[in-house]
């Protein structure tokens, strides 16, 4: 089993898309995360759902949990409204992490090790710079668990 | 909206359960992660799906991607078989991280900030040491996005 056998079509978001539309895509399609592509449709990052949410959380709440605690319930319910048209590019984390990207010939074990290291439940599958789709943790587990029964 | 309004019953795994049974629970119920409880049913850790998978990946593949690459396809398909009866307790990461646990009165913003910081798409909801259930990223997003339409 190779990445190509597990690859499924996967929606992408662009750097210029709003964070709000990215969050809606994640929620509306029940995705485990999102692939962000540049103007040439090449993946520039792959975000687990928690890091899509992170783009929508005010910075001061990330840095200091005590500050999130003093926001009252009504304001805390609608923090997404503060986002306005803020884009994915403006909200991505600046730290560089290992990119969860595999080649079509990578094995189940290489995909699993990459998901584990990058803490990301999906990997983008790229061949010669072209995005072919993604392998999700759910699909990978289904296949490798099938061999243990 | 408080954590108690978003809490749903959530399955748990015990420290003595096998990693294989934990992976099967994750895959079989399409869960975003797992809550690991101790002998008193108190959460000792909450793992995103990628870190449940991490427990099943041979250590040498996590440390060095080049080693995963030299395992041939047939062997890579069945790496879960090497797990045998290895338990969750034997496989948990040793580093201590912030625990994704909230109180029933915590707000949507506090939950979102905690998921973002801990890179975990679920939080355990605990009151007086008792596990009430979990809030998932999917449920949280559904509710807070509803207010932006």
- Write the pLDDT tens digit of every residue in A69-101: 888 888 888 888 888 889 999 999 877 788 999
Q: Which residues of A touch B121 (CB under 8 A)?
A: 32, 48-50
Q: Which residues of B touch A81 (CB under 8 A)?
A: 147-148
* pLDDT tens readout for residues A48-65: 999 999 999 998 888 888
Asked if pLDDT for residue B68 goes beyond 80, the answer is yes
Structural contact between residues A100 and A114, judged by C-beta atoms closer than 8 angstroms: yes
CA–CA distance, B133 with B28 (Å, rounded to integer) = 19
Percent of chain B predicted with pLDDT > 90: 70
**Cα B99-A76-B121 angle, rounded to 5 deg:** 35
CA B62 centroid distance within chain: 18
SS (H, E, C) B50-102: HHHHHHHCCHHHHHCHHHHHHCCHHHHHCHHHHHCCCEHHHHCCCCCCCCCEE
Find the CB nearest A50 among B58, B78, B121.
B121
Asked if pLDDT for residue B62 goes beyond 90, the answer is no
Asked if pLDDT for residue A148 goes beyond 90, the answer is no
Q: Where are the beta strands (DSSP E) in A11-147?
A: 12-14, 33-37, 43-48, 101-102, 122-127, 130-136
Percent of chain A predicted with pLDDT > 90: 70
Percent of chain B predicted with pLDDT > 70: 98
Taking the Cβ of residue A109 and every Cβ of chain B, the question of whether any pair is shorter than 8 Å is answered with: yes
Find the CB nearest A27 among B1, B117, B145.
B145
ipTM over 0.90: yes
- Which one of A116, A122, A136 would you mutate to disrupt binding with B, by most B Cβ within 10 Å of its Cβ? A116
Structural contact between residues A46 and A36, judged by C-beta atoms closer than 8 angstroms: yes
The whole-number pLDDT of residue B149 equals 58
CA–CA distance, A113 with B53 (Å, rounded to integer) = 8
The whole-number pLDDT of residue B148 equals 65
Asked if pLDDT for residue B16 goes beyond 90, the answer is yes
Name the minimum distance, in Å, from the CA of A121 to any CA of chain B.
5
Structural contact between residues A50 and B48, judged by C-beta atoms closer than 8 angstroms: yes
**Please, which residues 43-72 of chain B have a Cβ atom closer than 8 Å to chain A?**
48-51, 53-54, 56-58, 61-62, 65, 68-69, 71-72
Q: Which residues of B touch A110 (CB under 8 A)?
A: 61, 65, 68-69, 76
Work out the number of other CB atoms within 10 angstroms of the CB of residue A62: 17
- Please judge whether A81 and B147 are an interchain contact, meaning their C-beta atoms are less than 8 angstroms apart: yes
Taking the Cβ of residue B29 and every Cβ of chain A, the question of whether any pair is shorter than 8 Å is answered with: no
- Reference A45, options A107, A141, A131; nearest CA is A131
* pLDDT tens readout for residues B69-83: 888 888 888 888 888
Query: Which strands, in side-by-side order, build the sheet including B33-37?
Result: B12-14, B33-37, B43-48
Q: Residue for token digits 């040498």?
A: B60
């Amino acid at each position: 089993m190779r990445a190509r056998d597990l690859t499924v079509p996967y929606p992408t978001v662009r750097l210029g898309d709003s964070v709000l539309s990215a969050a809606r895509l994640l929620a509306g399609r029940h995705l485990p995360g999102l692939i962000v592509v540049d103007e040439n449709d090449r993946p520039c990052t792959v975000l687990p759902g928690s890091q899509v949410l992170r783009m929508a959380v005010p910075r001061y709440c990330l840095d200091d949990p005590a500050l999130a605690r003093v926001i009252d319930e009504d304001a805390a319910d609608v923090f997404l409204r503060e986002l306005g048209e803020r884009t994915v590019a403006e909200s991505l984390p600046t730290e560089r992490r290992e990119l969860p990207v595999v080649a079509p010939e990578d094995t189940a074990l290489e995909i699993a090790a990459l998901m584990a290291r990058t803490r990301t439940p999906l990997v983008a599958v790229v061949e010669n710079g072209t995005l072919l789709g993604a392998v999700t943790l759910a699909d990978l587990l289904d296949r490798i668990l099938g061999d243990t029964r």
